[in-house]
Amino acid sequence: MTKLLLVRHGQSEWNAVGKWQGKADPPLTKLGREQASLAALELPDFNILACSNLQRAQLTAEIFAESIGWDKNKIITEPRVQERDAGGFSGLTRNEIDKKFPGFLENNKWPDDWESDQNLLSRLLEGLTAIISTSEKNDQIVVVTHGGCIYALESLCGEPYKRISNLGGRWFDIEGEKIHLGDRVHLLTEAEETFPDQI
């Protein structure tokens, strides 16, 4: 059985101003970099560190490595664990979405170019499988990814939606094709957490 801790990246510049991101690639804020440094000290022991190819996840993983003296050249970058494509919502605040797409958010409707759960889970699971394939049996793996990816896997395991903070995480146990839900993890104190409600 492989244990994976999926961790949401630190606060990005678009998180800070309430813009939905999706596959857009804004960097971490100064606070986001500080969050990553603090969170690194609370990480469990791990054998593999991986991240998506979006810079907010890559920099978070690099800060993890630097903070604990782990060789950042060993970080695995896996594009398939990047955030859901938010389509027409990308770059917009909640108020701007309500103006451009009236009634969508309150009715859980999405633009036509929104990445479906099926497509997101398909490529996410392919990416996690590729990361796991580099591991030994019983390795613990940390994957720096995105809120939408964590929510999708939680939903697949029957868990209802609950916002996750920057640098919050969730354990998953992977056994063959079976995925078992583990605990949510808080790598920051309550005072240090930020809760962007957009992906």
Contact 47, 34 (CB under 8 A): no
Among the options 78, 83, 115, 154, which is catalytic? Answer: 83
* Catalytic option among 9, 62, 78, 146: 9
Q: Please give the DSSP secondary-structure letter assigned to residue 94.
A: H
Closest-CA residue to 150 (of 162, 134, 138, 132):
162
Parallel, antiparallel, or unpaired: how do β-strands 178-186 and 2-8 relate?
unpaired
Look at the block and give the residue holding tokens 């969170």: 39
Is 9 known to be catalytic? yes
Q: Could you tell me which residues come within 8 angstroms of residue 189 by beta carbon, excluding any fewer than 6 positions away?
A: none
Note whether 64 and 142 are within 8 A (CB).
yes
Spatial distance between the Cα atoms of 199 and 188, rounded to a whole number of angstroms:
20
Active site residues: 9, 83
